[in-house]
């Protein structure tokens, strides 16, 4: 939910055209989700709440926070991780098949 003065992108509670669908993906604090490229195919991903880290296959991580928009296809990733104190919520928007 947007707060007054909040300039972060949010797609929650906003209607999408019928040609699109959305999925919510929650990652609890201290948890990670194994990366499966097919899960993210054709989707723009918005970090709606919290923060996530993308962990690369060869080591290293990159952090993203609320309002960041991601494209998770074609990346050499091992996992999406939440090292924060609050749940992370990702919203994936893609075209309907």
**DSSP class per residue in 2-61:** --TT--S---TT----TTEEEEEEEE-TT-EEE--HHHHTTEEEEEEESEEEEEETTS-E
Return all residues near 1 (Cβ < 8 A) that are at least 6 apart.
10, 12, 13
Residue ranges of domains in the chain, CATH in brackets: 20-95 (2.60.120.10)
Q: What is the pTM for the complete model shown?
A: 0.83
Contact 32, 55 (CB under 8 A): yes
Query: What pLDDT digit, counting tens, does each position of 39-88 carry?
Result: 999 999 999 999 999 999 999 999 999 999 999 999 999 999 999 999 99
């Amino acid at each position: 939910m947007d707060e007054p003065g909040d300039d972060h992108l949010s797609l929650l509670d906003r209607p999408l055209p019928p040609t699109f669908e959305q999925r919510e993906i929650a990652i609890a604090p201290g948890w990670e989700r194994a990366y499966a490229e097919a899960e993210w195919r054709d989707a723009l991903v918005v970090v709606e709440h919290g923060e996530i880290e993308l962990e690369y296959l060869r080591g290293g991580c990159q952090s993203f926070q609320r309002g960041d928009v991601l494209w998770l296809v074609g990346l050499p990733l091992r996992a999406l991780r939440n090292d924060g104190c609050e749940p992370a919520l990702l919203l994936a928007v893609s075209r309907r098949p």
